[in-house]
Amino acid sequence: MKNLNRYGYAFIAPFWIIFLIFNIYPVALTFYYSFTNYSGSGTAEVVGFANYQRLIADSYFVEAFFNTWKIWGVNFALQIVIALILAMIFSDARVKMKGLSFFRSIFYLPNLITVSSVALLFGILLDWQHGSLNMVLMNIGVISEPINWLNQPTTAQLSVSLILTWMWFGHSFIVVMAGVSGISTDFYEAALIDGANRWQTFTKITLPLLKPILLYIMITSLIGGLQLFDLPMLLTDGIGSPDGSLNTMVLYLYNQAFKYNNYGYAAAVAYGLFIITVIFSAIVFKSMYGNERKQARRV
Amino acid sequence: MIDRSEIENNVTPEQLAKRTLIPQEKKTKKRRSSVKGIIYTLLILTAVICFIPFLMMLVNATRSNDAILTGFTLIPGTALMENYRTMMEYVNIWNGFKNSLIISVLVTLLTGYFSALTAYGFAFYTFKGKNFLFVFMLVMMMVPGQLGLIGFYELCKNLGILDTFIPLIVPAVASPFVVFFLRQYIQTTLHPSLIEAARIDGASELRIFHTVAIPIMMPAVATMSIFTFIGSWNNYIMPLVILFSPEKYTLPVLMGFLKGSQVAQNLGSMYLGIAISVVPIMIAFLFLSKYIVNSISAGAVKE
């Protein structure tokens, strides 16, 4: 038996060799660079915390931070509301809706398409003069003048949020539905006997029991949202136009490193982004589960 | 009153509702069907919104640049071949297709095989430091990909593998999330006595893995493979950083290249280029949609 367990090491060795080289080493190297003024060539000089001090005072990074949040926040609110409404419709035992698998597939479809293709597609669909969207809207008479979607900060951010919603609400719907179907029908029967109406059943039974699922959606969406890159990169000029409104944190990181060769500073941006992700994931986690623990203690 | 035995006999809420609401049944039924109609209309409208950008893309791909500039219609044009020729003059999209396919297939195979190997090693052997390594892997799983991007680029530069497929393929050997998922799976599906039996029959450890463990793990590996493939196919930032030569570009990077090239002058060709990158995925989804949807549900509920 003893010599057999040596195989354990052999089995996990390929994973760890590659993991050390291509994952852990780059993360550590980036950490080192974040304390240097490395510029992609020549030697790196250690500059202490200078990059991090610059990061906190950098108005472009702060702007990128808020842009990322605004774009993600609007998208998440819309996406989760749509997903919950759809789940409510399809899980209602009184109004038996048909075609769940059909609608689910159609709603999910946009999520499968390469983001860069989506960005390019909407880039030309939303074009001010020649974009099909403006032409259609003008044809049906919703607007009289073409809207310059991607050239004004507010509409540009809104466009990205809506594209993200379009891409992700189907995914959230599938996940919420999975959660709903996991809830025992006993609860609903009990609620029915007690005379609960649809809204009460939804807010008092479905929502609380969906908490773990909603938390899962929120954290995965948040982590993905904070890394928003493909859409803003390809939708406009790649540096966050119009007026810096599409400048997101990862876009800023990419441009600092590979456009302006500020590797040291970009490394600090990467770690700043990482710290922000950890903090907000922890906040989300705590706000959803913290109360519960307090209540439990009281009891 | 409804007596208890009925509830225990698995009466659906629907039947219960009928029983409790008998006096108003006719009225509610009528109202219900009209509400249903409204809901269906809204659902179909949502489905149309999901699909209309793709429809616009397909229609515009067949129309000439001039036609697109003058207005929008849903009637296909006749400029498909012309658009295709214009696009191919500047960008060889099939080459990008080929590159994406090579990378994604190899990534999926490497991830599937080595994750299964690692998961098996973690699940069925006891060795020093096992728990530490496993927890460490879980912690690293939380780290977003962009964190090491600059270090990764520098590493590839020093190894001389920039502008090759190696940095896009080889790291797939180490996919912590897939290892985690497969380990959970195999611990519940493969009983150690099966391995013992194979050992007594004189099979080598690697052979046991190949002939006993892999077949049992296959459903979970297939589930993970779909996501690995999609993730690799859609990956944009890594190939963007690593690859410089247009003939090596993957499809997502080629899309960005398309935007900056002469093709952008001809909207019909642009739409066609995008359509070519999108349609194969849509066709694949047509066949796999049920499987994909179930995989997403399973993945979410398990966590």
Which residue, of B49, B77, B105, is where some domain finishes?
B77
Distance CA A104, CA A81 (A): 16
**3 state DSSP class of B90:** helix
Report pLDDT digits (tens) over A185-220. 888 889 888 988 888 888 888 899 998 889 889 988
Q: Are residues B69 and B190 in the same domain?
A: no
Q: Is B120 contained in some domain?
A: yes
Residues of chain B with Cβ-Cβ distance to A241 below 8 Å are: none
CB-based contact A115:B59 (threshold 8 Å): no
- Residue of A12, A133, A259 for testing the chain B interface, max B β-carbons within 10 Å: A12
Residues of chain B with Cβ-Cβ distance to A106 below 8 Å are: 47, 50-51
Distance CA A134, CA B263 (A): 22
Residues of chain B with Cβ-Cβ distance to A136 below 8 Å are: 72
Q: Is B46 contained in some domain?
A: yes
Q: Are residues B192 and B55 in the same domain?
A: no
Q: Is B233 contained in some domain?
A: yes
CB-based contact B157:A23 (threshold 8 Å): no
Which residue, of B50, B77, B104, is where some domain finishes?
B77
Q: Is B19 contained in some domain?
A: yes
CB-based contact A268:A52 (threshold 8 Å): yes
Residues of chain A with Cβ-Cβ distance to B140 below 8 Å are: 19, 23-24
Q: Are residues B243 and B200 in the same domain?
A: yes
Report the largest interatomic distance among the alpha carbons of chain B, rounded to a whole angstrom: 80
Q: Are residues B47 and B124 in the same domain?
A: no
Distance CA A265, CA A271 (A): 10
Q: Are residues B173 and B208 in the same domain?
A: yes
Q: Are residues B51 and B107 in the same domain?
A: no
Per-residue pLDDT tens listing for chain B (303 residues): 444 444 444 555 555 555 554 455 556 667 777 888 888 999 999 999 998 899 989 999 999 988 888 878 888 888 999 999 999 988 899 999 999 999 999 999 999 999 999 999 999 999 989 999 999 998 888 787 789 999 999 999 999 999 999 999 999 999 999 999 999 899 889 999 999 999 999 999 999 999 999 999 998 999 889 889 988 998 999 999 999 999 999 999 999 998 888 888 888 999 999 999 888 888 888 888 888 888 888 776 654
What confidence score (pLDDT) does residue B24 get?
52
Residue with tokens 């179909």, as numbered in its chain: B44
Q: Give the total number of structural domains in chain B.
A: 2
Q: Are residues B105 and B55 in the same domain?
A: no
* Cα–Cα separations (whole angstroms), residue B109 to B105, B117, B132: 6, 12, 27
B29 touches chain A (CB under 8 A): no
Q: Is B298 contained in some domain?
A: no
- CATH code, residues A59-117+153-288: 1.10.3720.10
Residue A38 has pLDDT above 50, yes or no: yes
**3 state DSSP class of B199:** helix
**Tokens (6 digits) for A218:** 């929120």
ipTM: 0.87
pLDDT band at A11 (very low <50, low <70, confident <90, very high): very high
Higher pLDDT pick, B8 / A260: A260
Q: Are residues B182 and B69 in the same domain?
A: no
SS (H, E, C) chain A: CCCCCHHHHHHHHHHHHHHHHHHHHHHHHHHHHCCECCCCCCCCCECCCHHHHHHHHCHHHHHHHHHHHHHHHHHHHHHHHHHHHHHHHHHCCCCCCCCHHHHHHHHHHHHHCCHHHHHHHHHHHCCCCCCHHHHHHHHHCCCCCCCCHHHCHHHHHHHHHHHHHHHHHHHHHHHHHHHHHCCCHHHHHHHHHCCCCHHHHHHHHHHHHCHHHHHHHHHHHHHHHHCCCHHHHHHCCCCCCCCCCCCCHHHHHHHHHHHCCCHHHHHHHHHHHHHHHHHHHHHHHHHHHHHHHHHHHHC
Q: Do B140 and A19 touch (CB under 8 A)?
A: yes
Residues of chain A with Cβ-Cβ distance to B173 below 8 Å are: 14-15, 18-19
β-bridge partners, A36: A46
Going by C-alpha positions, the residue among A274, A266, A279, A254 that lies closest to residue A35 is A266
Q: Dihedrals φ, ψ of A83, to 5°? A: -60, -40
CB-based contact B243:B262 (threshold 8 Å): no
Smallest CA–CA distance from B100 into chain A, residue: A114
β-bridge partners, A46: A36
Q: Are residues B59 and B98 in the same domain?
A: no
What confidence score (pLDDT) does residue B17 get?
52
Q: Are residues B181 and B52 in the same domain?
A: no
Residues of chain A with Cβ-Cβ distance to B46 below 8 Å are: 82, 103, 107
Structural domain boundaries enclosing B61: 4-77
pLDDT band at A238 (very low <50, low <70, confident <90, very high): confident
What confidence score (pLDDT) does residue B1 get?
40
Distance CA A247, CA A68 (A): 8
Smallest CA–CA distance from B178 into chain A, residue: A15
**Tokens (6 digits) for B82:** 């012309």
CATH code for the domain of B119: 1.10.3720.10
Higher pLDDT pick, A97 / A263: A263
Nearest-by-Cβ selection for B144 from A99, A132, A274: A274
What number is the average pLDDT over the span A120-131? 87
What confidence score (pLDDT) does residue A162 get?
95
Residue A153 has pLDDT above 60, yes or no: yes
Nearest-by-Cβ selection for B274 from A25, A121, A258: A121
Q: Is B116 contained in some domain?
A: yes
Q: Do A174 and B150 touch (CB under 8 A)?
A: no
pLDDT band at A130 (very low <50, low <70, confident <90, very high): confident
Q: Are residues B166 and B223 in the same domain?
A: yes
Nearest-by-Cβ selection for A95 from B35, B114, B270: B35
**Tokens (6 digits) for A63:** 């702007």
Residues of chain B with Cβ-Cβ distance to A177 below 8 Å are: 297
Going by C-alpha positions, the residue among B261, B230, B235 that lies closest to residue B92 is B261
- Residue of A9, A36, A112, A235 for testing the chain B interface, max B β-carbons within 10 Å: A112
Residue A37 has pLDDT above 80, yes or no: yes
Q: Do A124 and B270 touch (CB under 8 A)?
A: yes
What number is the average pLDDT over the span A254-276? 94
Q: Are residues B49 and B73 in the same domain?
A: yes
